[in-house]
Structure 1
C-alpha cells in the first residue's frame, strides 16, 4: 500500500509540474500564434526594450552595491535590535508593491517629507518620476533580498577561517580581500541576476512611477496594448520579447550555479577579530534603517487617520483580495507540495529549473496568453477573480518550493523507509508524518504567498473591472485620480491585512512546531 501511495503522490507531482509549466511557458504557444513577425521590434518598441533592460540592470547593480556593506556590517556586529532589523529586511517581501510605492512617494515625492524640508530651505522639490523613481523603488525592494542572500553566504564561512586570519594578523581590508571576497565572487553574480529577473517583470512600479513614454517597460507596454489599444498582435510580440530576455538571463543564472538561499543562520554572528570600522558599520546600518523604515512609517502615519472614512467600495475590494489570497495560497500549497515530493528524490537540476521558470514568468505575459486562449470561448473579464487566484498561485510556486523542498526531503529521508515498512496509507502518511514534519516552513511559505497574492497588481489590472477590483487595483485608481488621502487609507488597510495573513500562517506553523 505504501508503494501505491508513493506512485500516486509521484503522479500528482508530475501533474502539478505539467500545470505550472503549461501556465508559464505554455503561454508562448498562443503568443506565437497571434504575434505578427514574432521577435521583430520596430519603432518605439526598441526604446521600451532598452529602458526595460537598462533599468533592470541598473537596479541589480545598485542593489548589489548597497547590499555588500550592509550585509558585511550585519555579519560583523552583534547589537541590540539586530533581530528587529533582520525582521525589517523581510518586510519588503510582505509589503504590497503598491503600498511601498505610496510610502516612497510620501517620503521622496514632490509633496513628500524630503521635498517639504527642501522647500523650507528655499530649494526645489524632488521629482522622482521616471528612471529615478523606478530605480529607487527597485532598490527598496531588492536591497533586503540581496542582503539576506549575502548574510547566508557570510554565515557559510567557517569560523576556522576567521581564527586563522586573526593569527596571521589580518585587518579588515585583508579579511575582505582574502576571506570574504571569494564568497562574494561566488554569490554576487547569481544574486544580481535574480534581481535583474525580478525587475525585468516589474509592473506596479513602472505603472505608478514610470512617468510617461520615456520610462515605459515591456510589462507596462503589454498592459497598454491590451487594455487601452486592444492590439493583441503587439502585446503578444512584446510578451515574447520579454520572455526571451528573461529566459536568456535565467539560463545564464543556471550556468552560474544556485544563488545563496535563506537560512536559519541569518541570526548567527560568527566570532570576528577584525573589529575596526565600527562607525562605518553603524552609519551603513543606520542609513539602511532609515531608507527601509521611513516609507512604511509614512504609510501608517498618512493612512491610519483615513481608515475610519474608507468607502464601501474599498471594503468590498478588500474582501475580494482576502478571498483571492486564501484561494491562491491553497492552490499554491497543493501544487508546491506535490512538486516538492517528486523533486525530493534528488532531482536538483529539475528543481532549479522549476524555480527559474517562476522567476522568468510574468503575470501579464501569462494573462496575455490566457486572454488569447479564452477570448473565443468565454469573456475573460468575467473570469477575472478566479484567473487572478490561479495565476497568483502559479507565480508563488517557486518561492514556496524553495522553502518546502528541503523540509520535504528531510522528512522523506528520515521517516520514508519506516513508513513503508509499516505500510502506512497515503492519507495517514500525509496527516501524521509529512505535514507535521514540514509545518513550520509550510507556515512561512504560505504566509509569503498569501501576502504576495494580497498585494498583487498584475493579472487583476489586465482583467479587473469596477465590479471585480481588488484592493491594490482600487489603490492604483485612487492614486491615478490624485485622491492621495483615500489611497493612503486603502494602503494602510492593505498593509494591515497583508501582515495579518502572513502572521496567521507563520504563527500557525510555529505553534504546533513548538509543542
Structure 2
C-alpha cells in the first residue's frame, strides 16, 4: 500500500503534465466545437479553401516523393567527400524559419529573380511565385529534404547481403531495381507521402505569404482571415473543426497504410548498394547537384542580399529580435521541463495514456489552438495581453511531440541501466536529478530544447491572430515584405536565420558537452 502511494507521488509530476496537456488541447478543441455550432457558418469560398488545401497537400506530397527518389538513390549508392555533411544539411530546412525560406524563394523565383531574368532573356514567359504554384514550390522546398531522408533510410534498411547476392547473380541495374528497390519503395513511399501531406495540410505561413485570393487559400489561411479581418468566430471555429477532421483522417491513414518490405535481417555492414557506372553515375551526380542547388540557392541569395544591410536595420527590428529571443528561450525552457517530466514518468510507469497525451498536439494546428484559447479567455484578457504568453505556451506545446521522441528512448535506457542502482543508494529528488538524470539525458534534452527554441524563434502562426504593437521578428519580417521594403526584409531574414540556427546550436552543443 505504501509502495503504491509512493509510486503515485513519484509520478505526480508526469501525470499533472499529461493531464494539463490533455485539458489544454481538448479544452481548446471543445471551445472551437462549441463556438462552431456545426458547419452551417461555412460559405462556398470556405469549401473551396478545403478543396484547395487537400489538392495542394496531395500534389506537394506526390512531387516531393517523386523528386526525392533519385536523390535518395544517388546518396545511398555513392560515396564522395562531404556526403555526410550534405545528408546532415538536408535536415536544416526543418528548423529554418519558414518566412526566411519564402524570402529566398522570392529572391530566386520572384519577378526580379534569376529564374525570371533567364526566362525573359530566352524569350519565355515569366514564372509567378505567387498563387498556387508558389505554394506548391515552397512546400516542395521544405519537404524534399524530409522525403530524401525518409527514403534514404529505406535504402539503408535493405541488408547489404541482398545487394551482394544480386551482384553475384549478375543482376543489371534494372534487375536490382525490380527485385530490391521497387519493393522497398512500395513500402516506404506511402508513409513519406502521408507525412508530407500532413505537414502541408497545416501549413500557414506559406499560404499567407505566397497564396491568398480565392484560388489559393488554405483552411489555415481562411481561419486567419475569418478571425482577424471578419472577426467571425463561428466561421473560424467551423474551419478549425474541418482542419482537425482532415488531420485526424491523415493520421489514421498513416497508421494503416504503411507495410514492411520484408527483406529480413542482415549483418549491418557499412556498405551501400552497388554503384553502377556510365550513365547512372552521371544521373546520380545530376540529381545530387540539382537538389543541393535547389535547397541552398535561395538561402544563399537571401544571405548575399541581406548580410550587408544588417547594421542599418531600424531599431524596431532589433526590439522585435530581442522580443523573439526571450519568447524562444521561454518556450524552449517550458518545453524542456514538460518533456523531461513526462518522459521520466513514461519510462518509469510505462503508461500508454501518458505518451498519447504527449502526442495530442499533433491533432490540431497552432492556429486552431490559438483560436480556441482566444474563445476561452476573451472575456478575461485583452488581445494585447494574450498575444505573447499564448504564443510562448503554444510554441512550447507544439514542440512536445518532437522532444518526447528524442527523450523517451533515452529515459527508458537510463531507467534500465541505472534505475535499480539509484534506488539501492536511495538517490531521489534533486540529488538524483542533478547527479544522474540531467548528465545522462543532457544530449537528447539539449537537442529537443534547441529544436523548440528554433521552431519558436521562426514561428509566424499564433502571433498573427492578435492585433499587437509588439511584433516578433518573423512578424516584423512579414510586415517589411508587405510594405515592399525588400532590402530591410532581406537583412531581417538573415538575422532571423542566424539567431534560429544559433539557438539550436547552443542548446544542442551545450547538451553534448554536459
**Could you state the TM-score of these two structures normalised by the residue count of structure 1?**
0.92
- Residue of structure 1 equivalent to 2:153: 152
- Residue of structure 2 equivalent to 1:375: 378
Q: Post-superposition shift, 1:258?
A: 9.8
User: Does the C-alpha gap of structure 1 residues 503 and 258 become closer, same or farther in structure 2, counting only changes over 3 Å?
Assistant: farther
Q: Post-superposition shift, 1:22?
A: 2.7
CA contact (8 A) 1:74 1:285 kept: yes
DSSP 3-state at the match of 1:44: helix
Q: Point out the more displaced range, 354-363 or 124-133.
A: 354-363
Q: Distance in 1 between matches of 2:150 and 2:190?
A: 11
User: Does the C-alpha gap of structure 1 residues 408 and 249 become closer, same or farther in structure 2, counting only changes over 3 Å?
Assistant: same
Q: Post-superposition shift, 1:3?
A: 8.4
DSSP 3-state at the match of 1:212: coil
Q: How does 1:110-509 map to 2 (within 5 A)?
A: 110-256=111-257, 270-276=271-277, 277-344=280-347, 353=356, 357-466=360-469, 468-509=470-511
Q: Post-superposition shift, 1:496?
A: 0.8
Q: Distance in 1 between matches of 2:161 and 2:349?
A: 30
- Deviation track 1:457-479 (CA, whole Å, cap 9, x = no partner) reads 0001112512x200000011111
Q: Point out the more displaced range, 339-348 or 26-35.
A: 339-348
CA contact (8 A) 2:317 2:476 kept: yes
- Deviation track 1:19-40 (CA, whole Å, cap 9, x = no partner) reads 2233333322111211133377
User: Does the C-alpha gap of structure 1 residues 398 and 259 become closer, same or farther in structure 2, counting only changes over 3 Å?
Assistant: farther
CA contact (8 A) 1:115 1:125 kept: yes
List alignment gaps of at least 5 residues for structure 2: 262-268
- Number of residue pairs matched? 504
List alignment gaps of at least 5 residues for structure 1: 261-267
Q: Post-superposition shift, 1:171?
A: 2.6
Q: Distance in 2 between matches of 1:49 and 1:256?
A: 23
User: Does the C-alpha gap of structure 1 residues 77 and 345 become closer, same or farther in structure 2, counting only changes over 3 Å?
Assistant: farther
- Deviation track 1:135-155 (CA, whole Å, cap 9, x = no partner) reads 110111111112112222222
Q: Distance in 1 between matches of 2:353 and 2:64?
A: 28
- Residue of structure 1 equivalent to 2:266: none
Query: Cα RMSD (Å) of the superposition?
Result: 2.3
CA contact (8 A) 2:383 2:468 kept: no
Q: Post-superposition shift, 1:510?
A: 2.0
User: Does the C-alpha gap of structure 1 residues 194 and 357 become closer, same or farther in structure 2, counting only changes over 3 Å?
Assistant: farther
CA contact (8 A) 1:361 1:395 kept: no
CA contact (8 A) 1:166 1:274 kept: no
User: Does the C-alpha gap of structure 1 residues 133 and 149 become closer, same or farther in structure 2, counting only changes over 3 Å?
Assistant: same
Q: Post-superposition shift, 1:360?
A: 3.0
Q: Distance in 2 between matches of 1:161 and 1:392?
A: 45
- Residue of structure 2 equivalent to 1:265: none
User: Does the C-alpha gap of structure 1 residues 353 and 146 become closer, same or farther in structure 2, counting only changes over 3 Å?
Assistant: farther
**Could you state the TM-score of these two structures normalised by the residue count of structure 2?**
0.93
Q: Post-superposition shift, 1:4?
A: 7.5
Q: Distance in 1 between matches of 2:227 and 2:274?
A: 59
User: Does the C-alpha gap of structure 1 residues 57 and 454 become closer, same or farther in structure 2, counting only changes over 3 Å?
Assistant: same
CA contact (8 A) 1:344 1:409 kept: yes
Q: Post-superposition shift, 1:186?
A: 2.5
Q: Distance in 2 between matches of 1:249 and 1:342?
A: 29
- Residue of structure 2 equivalent to 1:106: 107
- The alignment status of 1:31 with 2:28, answered yes or no, reads no
CA contact (8 A) 2:220 2:367 kept: yes
User: Does the C-alpha gap of structure 1 residues 251 and 352 become closer, same or farther in structure 2, counting only changes over 3 Å?
Assistant: farther
Q: Post-superposition shift, 1:480?
A: 1.1
